DNA sequence: AGGCTTTTTTTCGAGCCTCGAAATAATTAA
DNA sequence: TTAATTATTTCGAGGCTCGAAAAAAAGCCT
């Protein structure tokens, strides 16, 4: 069943730990790495020497602000930007973008395109995706900075192996094996990730203090998404990307949801639901798919100006989210929550009813203590999450194994 | 942050792996252990020799049915029953029991007591618990079979460290630090675990095929409990024993729950709720705490005989559980479910409405494929779960480290 | 300026651990 | 009785981490 630890695993893991420490801390000295990993100085010295010889890390003696301390100054090691490149691509409603990122995490080039995703054929959507990646990787020096990984974030559901987009609201076509398609095209490993999961990943890199072992990111947009980190690990479903918070049931057999079922949280708190309620449209009618962020912004302004119907629509949305979080908290205990996406701009209208609902649930015993953070613009987070996802893959799955490559030469992707 | 792997960890982990393989497989040969752990024969040989010398394992050459194969016969190794003992104790409504178990998992002695837990003072409850453990460990040969671990299962909520019973329906007293109390009394490590979590642990040992990486155990009794295994690990809350499925919200601001809040699943599917609905009592009235399993049995019989109100009460219960599972499945994807406890005897009345509700949720896309199992008597499961919890602790936290003890002498508990 | 102190990093030998190959052990088949 | 077969142990090689000592690279002090 569970597999024993072999002798060579040990080195691999400790190399991975060193790389992770450098990526986290930026420019740590060997001594600092030894402290954070609890490995001995000798071991760190040996591993660091190997990694530098392989071109993964590089010494950077920028003297810094120059520590005015007594003894031999620490010499900082950092990630060698030229060790690799990765592509972080994001496919969302009517928009497709890709970024080429170097190994240290710096964006080298970026491509963004508007396209009518809902109207595109399956083939056209795939072709556009390939094209935008091709555009961003074109013309770089393939010898010195090999492309080692592509991560594509999508709105919607992926399979557990992160290889196939099972379903997405941005296109009528499902079961698109982006992973295999891009892999065939570019010859390197590719994963397809849920956008909310990438948001969670990014939040942790941005603010590891607040978003540490357990937290939740809720994306309020046309639909409702969620990314969760529990026990320090991204929590996904057992067979899919999971975390379909928006489709937990708020009111059994209640309002009609975009997914065709009834009573989902999204059917009360998604943009279209808020619009439907604010305009007094029946709960069981289908609403056009093109309620824009601007429409919601206008509704929020109306609500703030005293429009009763609009105010009530946001109240209903807040309550739905609150009861949903309360049910979730009953299972996993309360955790910090980030409200991400355009909906965060109406958080002032939502927060009260939401906290009120949470307080009426089992998870709400300390509802006053649950802290919410808002990040209105989700796209940078999604890009960052993809970037870190791809880079840590390279760190752990390629460079941690190391060994085979000559000095300065990255491993062929086939080893990944 | 994350800590590097040292050289000695390696041995400890591989020893743990060998012990685990023996506990799982019963009487494997060294060759079989090598196969399941993917370690080399030499390594297994060395580790097995150590463990046998330490008295943890023992060769058992019972010839068995004697394999009629050609070469040298395999020699089976098994757990040495005399390596240790543990106590598995269960505190539930009006009942307290403790079992003394040897290292191979065989029950040596058992004590069961009836007591009116709701009426006992905090001190009396603690005293009774200590007494029942003392009774069961009394008079054994402490030299040869050291007592290394006590696990106490309770109905209710514990803290994350499994040291304190935070709240329980069986007593008005909360925040009882059973762990510290028993530890002070018996001088060995003690944990306090939620009963439903122990049920989940036990199910996995009983049927590892069906209850493998991901599954759910729902306890239907006076209240509604849940134990969940995700990714092969018991899933608990981040700060408590978690999994308070019964207090997810079924209908916002709905029926009055025993917890004082409104609309919890339990307020529709707990014994008291079924009784309340069957008797046409208002949803917001408090029901006596002493609805017995017999009362529910009688209601179930009435429902089967055509009593409309009773039938409707079970329908409501099934629907509440179904929507709850559906919401849960939206987050984690469907998984096998075991319905445990007396309520399983009315599963025929519950199943239809429950499946109907699940089918109307996002998790229900394949609701027909979700399989349910029923186990009416939960007590044996809880005992088994505690037992395995305690034994695997001894396996991994005490014997896997090994080393210090002389041959045949178990380690002192202080090392735990 | 030159020696001294302090701190960081590298070097070196010791001690474990796992592995593969070879040796040994315990049976059955012929 | 011998050969064949399978299981287990033994043995030497190769890796890895560790602690201690050495080397390196400063600042401090007279």
pLDDT in tens, B104-161: 999 999 999 999 999 999 999 999 999 999 999 997 766 678 999 999 999 999 999 9
Q: Is A369 on the interface with B (CB under 8 A)?
A: no
Q: Which two tokens stand for residue B74?
A: 């395999």
pLDDT band at residue A1 under the 50/70/90 scheme: very low
Q: Is A37 on the interface with B (CB under 8 A)?
A: yes
For residues A202 and A379, what is the distance between their CA atoms, to the nearest angstrom? 11
Tell me, what's the pLDDT at A63? Answer: 56
Tell me, what's the pLDDT at A410? Answer: 37
Most confident residue range from A135-139, A406-410, B66-70: A135-139
Q: Which residue is nearest to nucleotide D11 (CA to C1')?
A: B42
Question: For testing the chain A interface, which of B317, B330, B396 should be mutated: the one with the most A CBs within 10 Å?
Answer: B330
pLDDT band at residue B415 under the 50/70/90 scheme: very low
B323–A327 C-beta distance less than 8 A: no
Lowest mean pLDDT, pick from A149-153, B153-157, B412-416: B412-416
- Residues β-bridged to residue A372: A337
Check residue B397 and report its DSSP letter.
Answer: I
A409: pLDDT strictly greater than 60? no
Nearest to B381 by CA among B338, B323, B318: B338
Helices (H), A279-333: 293-304, 308-332
- Does nucleic acid strand D have an atom less than 7 angstroms from the CB of A6? no
The DSSP element (H or E) to which B327 belongs, if any, is helix B308-332
Mean pLDDT on A384-412:
76
Q: Which two tokens stand for residue A101?
A: 């990122």
**B332-335: long-range contacts at Cβ-Cβ below 8 A with a sequence spacing of 24 or more?**
B332/A237, B332/A238, B332/A242, B332/B214, B332/B230, B333/A237, B333/A238, B333/A239, B333/A240, B333/A242, B333/B214, B333/B363, B334/A239, B334/B363, B334/B364, B334/B366, B334/B367, B334/B369, B334/B370, B335/A238, B335/B214, B335/B215, B335/B216, B335/B370
Tell me, what's the pLDDT at B65? Answer: 53
Mean pLDDT on B328-333:
93
Least CB-CB distance to B327: which of A24, A248, A319? A248
Tell me, what's the pLDDT at B184? Answer: 97
Q: What integer best gives the mean pLDDT of chain B?
A: 91
Mean pLDDT on B63-71:
66
pLDDT band at residue B2 under the 50/70/90 scheme: low
Contacts of B328 in chain A (CB under 8 A): 331
pLDDT band at residue A406 under the 50/70/90 scheme: very low
Q: Is B224 on the interface with A (CB under 8 A)?
A: no
Which residues have C-beta within 8 Å of that of residue B161, sequence separation ≥ 6? B179
Tell me, what's the pLDDT at A2? Answer: 62
Work out the minimum CA distance from A9 to partner chain B, whole angstroms.
10
pLDDT digits (tens, 9 = 90+) for A324-372: 999 999 999 989 999 999 999 999 999 999 999 999 998 777 777 788 9
Tell me, what's the pLDDT at A55? Answer: 93
Mean pLDDT on B41-54:
95
A216: pLDDT strictly greater than 80? yes
- Does nucleic acid strand D have an atom less than 7 angstroms from the CB of A43? yes
Q: What integer best gives the mean pLDDT of chain A?
A: 91
Tell me, what's the pLDDT at A66? Answer: 58
Work out the minimum CA distance from B186 to partner chain A, whole angstroms.
32
For residues A96 and A108, what is the distance between their CA atoms, to the nearest angstrom? 17
Between helix B7-25 and helix B379-393 the angle, nearest 10°, is 150
Residue corresponding to tokens 């006053």: A368
B192: pLDDT strictly greater than 50? yes
DSSP secondary structure string for all residues of B170-191: T-S---B-HHHHHHHHHSS-EE
A62: pLDDT strictly greater than 60? no
For residues A48 and A56, what is the distance between their CA atoms, to the nearest angstrom? 9
The answer to whether A7-79 and A222-377 have equal CATH topology is no
Q: Which residue is nearest to nucleotide C15 (CA to C1')?
A: B7
Lowest mean pLDDT, pick from A208-217, B4-13, B179-188, B228-237: B4-13
Give domain B222-377's CATH number out of 1.20.1260.10, 3.90.226.10, 3.30.1360.120, 3.30.420.40.
3.30.420.40
B7–A330 C-beta distance less than 8 A: no
B414: pLDDT strictly greater than 60? no
Residues with CB under 7 A from strand C: A 4, 6-7, 29-31, 41-42, 45-46, 48-49, 69-75; B 7-8, 10-11, 14, 39-43, 46-47, 66, 68-73
Count of residues making up chain A: 416
The distance (Å) linking the CA of A34 with the C1' of D30 is 37
Angle in degrees, CA A6, A10, A16, rounded to 5: 135
**A373-376: long-range contacts at Cβ-Cβ below 8 A with a sequence spacing of 24 or more?**
A373/A210, A373/A336, A373/A337, A373/A338, A373/A339, A374/A338, A374/A339, A374/A340, A374/A344, A374/A345, A374/A347, A375/A203, A375/A338, A375/A339, A375/A340, A375/A341, A375/A344, A376/A340, A376/A341, A376/A342, A376/A344, A376/A345
A414: pLDDT strictly greater than 60? no
pLDDT band at residue A291 under the 50/70/90 scheme: confident
Q: Mark which residues 106-145 of B lie under 8 Å from A by CB.
A: none
A21–B1 C-beta distance less than 8 A: yes
Tell me, what's the pLDDT at B161? Answer: 94
Which residues have C-beta within 8 Å of that of residue B128, sequence separation ≥ 6? B96, B113, B115, B120
Mean pLDDT on B20-35:
94
Q: Is A247 on the interface with B (CB under 8 A)?
A: yes
A110: pLDDT strictly greater than 60? yes
Phi, psi of A204 (to 5 degrees): -65, -40
Tell me, what's the pLDDT at B207? Answer: 96
Contacts of B36 in chain A (CB under 8 A): 1
Q: Mark which residues 275-334 of B lie under 8 Å from A by CB.
A: 319, 323, 326-328, 330-334
- Give A2 or A356, the one with higher predicted confidence: A356
- Give A349 or B362, the one with higher predicted confidence: A349
Nearest to B109 by CA among B78, B141, B79: B141
Least CB-CB distance to A326: which of B249, B323, B330? B249
Mean pLDDT on B180-192:
97
Mean pLDDT on B59-86:
81
CA end-to-end span of chain B: 24
Give strand letter and number of the nucleotide nearest B17 (CA to C1'): C18
Q: Is B1 helix (H, G, I), strand (E, B) or coil?
A: coil
Half-sphere exposure of B32 (CA within 13 A, CB side): 17
Tell me, what's the pLDDT at B156? Answer: 92
Lowest mean pLDDT, pick from B9-18, B26-35, B182-191, B404-413: B404-413
Least CB-CB distance to A333: which of B36, B240, B248? B240
Q: Kindly tell me the burial class for residue B70, based on how many C-beta atoms sit within 10 Å of its own C-beta (0-12, 13-18, 19 or more).
A: exposed
Lowest mean pLDDT, pick from A160-164, A290-294, B337-341: A290-294
Count of residues making up chain B: 416
Least CB-CB distance to B244: which of A24, A250, A362? A362
Tell me, what's the pLDDT at B102? Answer: 96
Mean pLDDT on A17-41:
95
Secondary-structure breakdown of chain A: helix, strand, coil percentages, each rounded to the nearest 5 = 45, 20, 35
Contacts of B268 in chain A (CB under 8 A): none
Which residues have C-beta within 8 Å of that of residue B203, sequence separation ≥ 6? B211, B215, B217, B338, B375, B381
Class of domain B83-198+380-415: alpha beta
Q: Mark which residues 201-220 of B lie under 8 Å from A by CB.
A: 213-214
Domain boundaries, chain B: 7-79, 83-198+380-415, 222-377
pLDDT band at residue A404 under the 50/70/90 scheme: very low
CATH 1.10.10.10 is right for the domain spanning A7-79: yes
Q: Is B250 on the interface with A (CB under 8 A)?
A: yes
pLDDT band at residue B412 under the 50/70/90 scheme: very low
- Give A65 or B259, the one with higher predicted confidence: B259
Residues A409 and A127: beta-carbon distance below 8 Å: no
Least CB-CB distance to B242: which of A17, A21, A333? A333
For residues A314 and B167, what is the distance between their CA atoms, to the nearest angstrom? 36
Mean pLDDT on B78-102:
96
Tell me, what's the pLDDT at B405? Answer: 38
A39–B4 C-beta distance less than 8 A: yes
* Ramachandran sector of residue B26 (left: φ over 0; alpha: ψ -120 to 50; beta: rest): left
Give strand letter and number of the nucleotide nearest A8 (CA to C1'): D15
Q: Is B261 on the interface with A (CB under 8 A)?
A: yes
For residues A401 and A414, what is the distance between their CA atoms, to the nearest angstrom? 13
Q: Which residue is nearest to nucleotide D27 (CA to C1')?
A: A70
Residues B323 and A264: beta-carbon distance below 8 Å: no
B1–A335 C-beta distance less than 8 A: no
Q: Which two tokens stand for residue A354?
A: 């939401």
The DSSP element (H or E) to which B268 belongs, if any, is helix B266-269
B286: pLDDT strictly greater than 50? yes
A412: pLDDT strictly greater than 70? no
Q: Kindly tell me the burial class for residue B8, based on how many C-beta atoms sit within 10 Å of its own C-beta (0-12, 13-18, 19 or more).
A: exposed
Tell me, what's the pLDDT at B413? Answer: 33
Residues A103 and A85: beta-carbon distance below 8 Å: yes
How many CB contacts within 8 angstroms connect chain A with chain B?
146
For residues A155 and A168, what is the distance between their CA atoms, to the nearest angstrom? 6
pLDDT digits (tens, 9 = 90+) for B201-223: 999 999 999 999 999 999 999 89
Nearest CA in chain B to A15: B4
The distance (Å) linking the CA of B150 with the C1' of C16 is 34
């Amino acid at each position: 069943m569970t597999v024993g630890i072999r002798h060579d695993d040990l080195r691999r893991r400790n190399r991975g730990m060193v790389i992770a420490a450098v990526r986290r801390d930026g420019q740590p000295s060997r001594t600092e790495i030894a402290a954070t990993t609890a490995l001995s100085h000798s071991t760190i010295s040996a591993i660091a020497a190997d990694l530098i010889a392989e071109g993964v890390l590089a010494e950077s003696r920028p003297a810094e602000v120059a520590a005015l301390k007594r003894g031999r100054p620490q010499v900082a090691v950092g990630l060698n930007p030229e060790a690799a490149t990765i592509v972080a691509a994001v496919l969302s409603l009517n928009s497709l973008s890709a970024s080429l990122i170097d190994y240290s995490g710096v964006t080298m080039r970026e491509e963004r395109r508007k396209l009518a995703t809902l109207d595109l054929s399956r083939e056209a959507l795939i072709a556009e995706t390939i094209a935008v990646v091709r555009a961003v990787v074109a013309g770089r020096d393939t010898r010195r900075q090999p492309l080692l990984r592509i991560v594509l974030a999508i709105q919607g559901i992926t399979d557990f192996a992160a290889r196939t987009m099972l379903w997405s609201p941005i296109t009528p076509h499902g079961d698109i094996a982006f992973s295999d398609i891009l892999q065939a095209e570019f010859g390197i490993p590719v994963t397809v990730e849920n956008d909310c999961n990438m948001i969670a990943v990014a939040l942790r890199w941005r603010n590891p203090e607040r978003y540490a072992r357990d937290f939740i990111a809720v994306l309020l947009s046309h639909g409702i998404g969620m990314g969760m980190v529990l026990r320090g690990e991204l929590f996904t479903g057992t067979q899919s990307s999971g975390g379909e918070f928006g489709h937990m049931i708020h009111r059994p057999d209640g309002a009609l949801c975009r997914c065709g079922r009834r009573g989902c949280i999204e059917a009360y708190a998604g943009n279209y639901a808020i619009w439907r309620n604010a305009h007094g449209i029946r709960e069981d009618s289908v609403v056009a798919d093109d309620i824009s962020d601007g429409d919601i912004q206008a509704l929020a302004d109306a609500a703030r100006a005293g429009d009763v119907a609009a105010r009530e629509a946001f109240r209903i949305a807040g309550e739905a989210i609150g009861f949903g979080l309360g049910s979730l908290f009953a299972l996993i205990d309360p955790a910090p929550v980030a409200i991400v996406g355009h909906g965060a701009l109406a958080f002032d209208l939502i927060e009260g009813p939401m906290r009120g609902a949470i307080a009426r649930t089992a998870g709400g015993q300390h509802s006053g203590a649950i802290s919410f953070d808002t990040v209105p613009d989700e796209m940078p987070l999604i890009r960052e999450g993809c970037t870190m996802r791809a880079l840590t893959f390279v760190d752990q799955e390629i460079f941690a194994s190391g060994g085979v490559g000559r000095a300065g030469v990255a491993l062929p992707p086939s080893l990944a």
